[in-house]
Chains A and B, each alone.
Chain A
Amino acid sequence: MASPGKNLKPEICGLKGLNQEPDDKNQLVDKEAGLSGGERDMAPVTGNSIHRSGSRPQLDLSKAEIQGNFEERDPTILLPNQSDDISHLALDIGGSLIKLVYFSRHEDQSVDDKRKRSVKQRLGLSNGNRRSYPVLGGRLHFVKFETSKINECLDFIHSKQLHRGAYKDLPHWHSDGPENENAIIKATGGGAYKFADLFKERLGVSIDKEDEMDCLVAGANFLLKAIRHEAFTHMEGKKEFVQLDHNELFPYLLVNIGSGVSMIKVDGDGKFQRVSGTNVGGGTYWGLGRLLTKCNSFDELLELSQKGDNSTIDMLVGDIYGGMDYSKIGLSASTIASSFGKTISVNKELEDYRPEDISLSLLRMISYNIGQISYLNALRFGLKRIFFGGFFIRGHAYTMDTISFAVHFWSKGEAQAMFLRHEGFLGALGAFMSYEKHGLDDLLAHQLVERFPMGAPYTGGKVHGPPLGDLNEKISWMEKFLQKRTEITAPVPTAPPGTTGLGGFEVPLSKGETLRSDASALNVGVLHLVPTLEVFPLLADPKTYEPNTIDLSDHSELEYWFTVLSEHVPDLVDKAVASEGGTDDAKRRGDAFARAFSAHLRRLMEEPTAYGKLGLANLLELREECLREFQFFDAYRSIKQRENEASLAVLPDLLLELDSMNEEARLLTLIEGVLAANIFDWGSRACVDLYHKGTIIEIYRMSRNKMQRPWRVDDFDAFRERMLGSGDERPPPHKRALLFVDNSGADVVLGMLPLARELLRRGTEVVLVANSLPALNDVTAMELPDIVAEAAKHCDILRRAAEAGGLIVDAMIDSADGSKEGSSFVPLMVVENGCGSPCIDLRQVSSELAAAAKDADLVILEGMGRALHTNFNAQFKCDALKLAMVKNQRLAEKLIKGNIYDCVCRYEPSH
């Protein structure tokens, strides 16, 4: 359907990356929001130079009720005269907590520049090529409130206008019902009935009650299929994420521990049966705990347990056997023979026992019992996997340990308890899934990106105060936290490692202090749904592919990278602030960024699994996301620009030099050049220091001259043989090469472009693959066309190829939308990779990259981020060349047993 908004949109931008004009900036903002931007949907931007003006077409077209909608940022998808469909919000109203899942939609592409159009044309790419209808990108938010404070929840919904159906334009979400006051919100949980009138009264919406079990199962199935590393095991304080094979997911046992416990055998989507349960559940823990300890909240009770010693309450085997084990039947002296068996003592009353001990004893009794009954049921039905969820668990390490221990103990190690990161939101998510045809049910893991923005109430954490209206409020919120000397509580850790003991039966090793008061909140970020992301088709085995080379579960490794990143923060803040003109506003945002990013680092240092499975790539991306969250969209903009210009100035000389060589010498020099130019990297501290010592070409030449073979990893001969052959035999050229580029400036201009030119000269199509969003000084897909155009001025090969690829418009041909089908030259193209990180996870790349990969038979990965930190061990279906200079001593030692500035030239022919 044609969008009036789109038609009204001025035709701008595209080829002007180096000379941003105000209008272009707007477009840039749009693009970022569309791809993966931070939590800017929460932050309406006013009075700031980079924000869009009030005269956007959007305002002309939108209806009155959505004008106040901060989240809507893209005009092109707003259609008038839509029905009031509000299917983007679902609730799970439980006895103690209200869980809310809502979806904020944004179009995935807002920039329809020439490059994109030409790429689409050439690659035969169309919107939603994999579906009959387009699924629009968006974000799935997870928020919770205490049921007793339901008014805060209502205020939240109201302030964000979630009930007003701001996204009623979604073609597949249409409601055919009358324009109405009969708007409906899907809800589950006991409170769905209880509060129905309140919702009607306050928000004018009706609650449509969904079956609780249906929702639980639907939620669990969605999570287990769609989110990578959703499930984890938790033994003896150690959390380990589990990668599940979707084809082997069913059947499984889902144990939902709410007030009571339900055990559900799940055989497939919508196919399940409640096979068992127990009345000894979370309500029992809290109910008995309240009676016995006078705690005021469940969380308080849980926290007490952390400092408890149950040996004063429970009768242990050792108590009965005078301190000895009952080894004949495998019971150790510390095994609990009888929960609360010691409180029968005649001369003690309730007041004589410590509430901490009572809480721990209760917790163990109930967790252990649930684990045991669950295992017996799994066994009975032959189920290999048991997933535990529900509010009782709440990410509480000790509870998980106890349940795990019980399952392990009774199964003699054959079964494992697994937990879900989004466990508290199963019901709400299931209710959300129950809206018909929202198109989310067949989303796959590669289309979901999880982000952990700062600030209440962005994540699944508790809501602290009213929702933040804009960036300004968010910054204030950050500042407040610093003053209070409290740590950021938005993305919350479960608990630091090592707080639990040797297993369910043992007393926790460390007591008290280590558990934070907010430990029961969930570590859930915002799920970004990017339907255009795909798995890179050239991966040899996507199932076993692991992007990260460095395993951060090694604590010293983690510590090292945290230090590196922390030390880099001040410099980064300087650049970021400068990139925004050094204004007071920019400084304030810079401080907020530093605070937020440091808080993330501290949290992860404490609990490396707080945000799910953590790799170096995730860490580096987190930094970029954090920058974007505080609206630093391109901290290295001016540096990139300067270096591009300087490099382009010396490029003609370099090309002349290369053209004077024979083919064989040229190939070697080109590879040397790529490696040498890779020294220009603002992500490397060592290199930043170097820059102060010379001009670009000097450093480049010096660097290239030092490129003495053999390199530390040197497969050049194999590569040369594939390119040039041996003897008389000359192998056919590659059909199409994908060149994953890295840094701006010399790296791309003096390194990769000449290599691309060589490939073009040999008749190979070249696709330059660059970031969708800025990350450090990496060149972006937006910037590349201008760089190529500039380079092409001095080189016919590049010019013709760029014209063939639609990157520059041939002056001879009058082409507003000119087709280049007639061109006989092999094209040079640019595609975006779909990410905004210095690394790349090839399971989640843009659809245009995926399309470009179809005919490709050579992949060249360049630079540390994409060839070493990630993908060093990646296997491809086609020939692959990985080129990088190692600009980090530790990485050099670890990865190639070498030293800083050593080079990697790894060539792996297709299998």
Chain B
Amino acid sequence: MDLGINGNGVNSDVQSDSQISHLALDIGGTLAKLVYFCGNKKLLKNDEVQSSVKAGGRSRTIIQGKLHFTKFETSKIDECVAFINRKQLGSHHPKDLDNDRIVVKATGGGAFKFADLFKEKLDFCLDKEDEMDCLVAGANFLLKAVNQEAFTYIGGQKEFVQINQDDLYPYLLVNIGSGVSMIKVDGNGKFERVSGTSLGGGTFWGLGKLLTKCNSFDELLELSHQGNNRVVDMLVGDIYGGTDYSKMGLSSTAIASSFGKTISTNKVLENYRTEDLARSLLRMISNNIGQLAYLTALRFGLKRIFFGGFFIRGQSYTMDTISVAVHYWSKGDAQAMFLRHEGFLGALGAFVNYNKQGHDNLILMQQVQKHKPEPDGTTTEEEDSEYASIDCSVYID
């Protein structure tokens, strides 16, 4: 069974029923991502079922609601547990026949690591989904089902890209979590991890924390906005006395060596502004990822590169740097694209997988995403409001 895209709006004559929720988890090395659906049960009319779900003449329940996205630091996994507990998420999930525990789809390394914790605290049985499967399923879902999901970011301008679904594959998916995975996607469930790098979001945060004593990833990002990397990086102009190395096509402002100026013998860490260090670090990592991604795309002849993962977080500067790197190395031939829900690919993929594996009652999810394009705009009452929730409907047997 496949995800059929239902272009119609949500049926309005809903017979209100009890609140219902479903969730899936992506517990990475740094962050735990949560995707959950909240909605009200409604009984579909039979003909509607027929028209949308080709599953025989059975009667279905359609739940209309919203898909929510939220995250926690993995080191504070207890907060995540408390959140789930408070919202009573997953209470409608089917139960494992053997041990009567609530079955919850989860992916990421933490799905293994924290399995016992979830069992103990929430009586959850984490149903582990492969990380890459989830990433790809999540990305494929978003790119196919959600309008205005992908966008380019050049010179501070965000521009949504309309992607012809028949021409989507193959593409390169670059997931920037703690580390970076580069996945060549050829279709639904058809993909290969072709490359990756250990210089990822974890490196930014980890090195950044050591260098700046920041307390959070966000704080570090914030710092980087106010920094000037010229104090820290050795630029081409620094080496060639302010002139370009034009013979090699290097402008004087190109970074010759990240952190190359901090070898100065008469300065120590404390003599540098934390803002500048953060800025330099961000550029180093973004630039490197952009370069590797382009080279990898080139190698496999992929036209599109989508960047996702928690490192990006809609950070304009990060996206800008990655875009510039791809643009620079491809000499303008390739463009970096980003996903609005980039941080939740894995969790979303795990959620979508409820369907794939024919789980007894949660069959199908359909988007009807009519939300504001700007994620930071209007907010709802939820804590996770910085990520656009998605209006959608879910069919249940």
Contacts and interface: CB of A to CB of B under 8 A. Distances in A.
Interface of A: 95-96, 148, 190, 193, 211, 213, 258-260, 262, 274, 276, 278-284, 286-288, 290-292, 294, 296, 298, 313-315, 317, 319-322, 324, 326, 328-329, 336-346, 349-350, 353, 358, 365, 368-369, 372-373, 376-377, 379-380, 410
Interface string B356-380: 0000000000000000000000000
A147 B298 CA distance: 41
Contacts of B260: 259-260, 279, 281, 283-284, 287
A283 B234 contact: yes
By CB atoms of chain A within 10 A, which of B30, B203, B263, B329 has the most? Answer: B263
28 contacts: A260-B255, A262-B248, A279-B256, A279-B258, A279-B260, A281-B258, A283-B257, A283-B258, A284-B257, A287-B260, A287-B263, A291-B269, A291-B277, A292-B269, A298-B263, A320-B110, A328-B132, A336-B198, A340-B203, A341-B30, A341-B178, A344-B205, A344-B217, A350-B210, A350-B211, A358-B210, A365-B203, A372-B292
B247 interface: yes
What are the nearest 4 A-B pairs in CB distance? Answer: A320-B109, A341-B202, A283-B260, A338-B202
A151 to B, nearest CB: 17
A282 B113 contact: no
Contact of B298 (A213, A291, A346, A380): A380
Interface string B248-280: 110000111111111101001100100001000
By CB atoms of chain B within 10 A, which of A148, A282, A336, A358 has the most? Answer: A336
A704 to B, nearest CB: 71
B284 interface: yes
A286 B132 CA distance: 35
A453 to B, nearest CB: 33
A344 B268 CA distance: 21
B130 interface: yes
A320 B110 CA distance: 6
B155 interface: no
A279 B295 contact: no
A346 B76 CA distance: 10
Interface in B220-246: 232-234, 239-241
A342 B291 contact: no
Contacts of A341: 29-30, 178-179, 198, 200, 202-203, 205-206
A280 B257 CA distance: 6
Contacts of B198: 314, 336-339, 341, 365, 368
B140 interface: no
Q: How large is the interface on B (under 10, 10 to 19, 20 to 34, 35 or more residues)?
A: 35 or more
A282 B259 CA distance: 10
Contacts of B130: 328
Nearest to B207: A340
Contacts of A358: 210
Given A276-B329, A338-B200, 13 more contacts: A260-B255, A283-B260, A292-B269, A294-B268, A294-B269, A314-B198, A319-B109, A320-B29, A321-B113, A338-B206, A350-B211, A369-B288, A380-B295
B248 A213 contact: yes
B202 A337 contact: yes
By CB atoms of chain B within 10 A, which of A287, A294, A321, A338 has the most? Answer: A338
Contacts of B262: 287-288, 290-291
B299 interface: yes
Given A284-B284, A320-B110, A329-B132, A369 B195 contact: no
A519 to B, nearest CB: 20
Contacts of B257: 258-260, 279, 281-284, 287
Interface string B120-154: 00000000001110000000000000000000000
A291 B177 CA distance: 25
Given A284-B260, A296-B265, A321-B113, A343 B206 contact: yes
A213 B245 CA distance: 11
B107 to A, nearest CB: 11
Contact of A329 (B28, B193, B199): B193
Contacts of B18: none
Contact of A376 (B200, B259, B299): B299
A321 B113 CA distance: 6
Nearest to A262: B248
B247 A211 contact: yes
A362 to B, nearest CB: 9
Given A283-B258, A373-B292, A340 B202 contact: yes
B265 A344 contact: no
A148 to B, nearest CB: 8
B65 interface: no
A280 B280 CA distance: 11
Interface of B: 28-30, 75, 108-110, 112-113, 130-132, 177-179, 193, 195, 197-203, 205-207, 209-211, 213, 215, 217, 232-234, 239-241, 247-249, 254-263, 265, 268-269, 272, 277, 284, 287-288, 291-292, 295-296, 298-299, 329
Nearest to A259: B257
Nearest to B257: A283
A191 to B, nearest CB: 10
A342 B202 CA distance: 8
B248 A274 contact: yes
A299 to B, nearest CB: 13
B178 A369 contact: no
A277 B243 CA distance: 19
B75 A337 contact: no
B197 A369 contact: yes
Contacts of B256: 259-260, 279, 283
B248 A280 contact: no
Contacts of B295: 373, 376-377, 380
B137 to A, nearest CB: 15
B210 A343 contact: yes
A336 B178 CA distance: 10
B291 A337 contact: no
A340 B215 CA distance: 16
Nearest to B204: A340
A280 B284 contact: yes
A322 B112 contact: yes
Contacts of A315: 29, 178-179, 202, 206
Nearest to A380: B298
Contact of B240 (A190, A259, A290): A190
A213 B236 CA distance: 14
A33 B290 CA distance: 57
B202 to A, nearest CB: 3
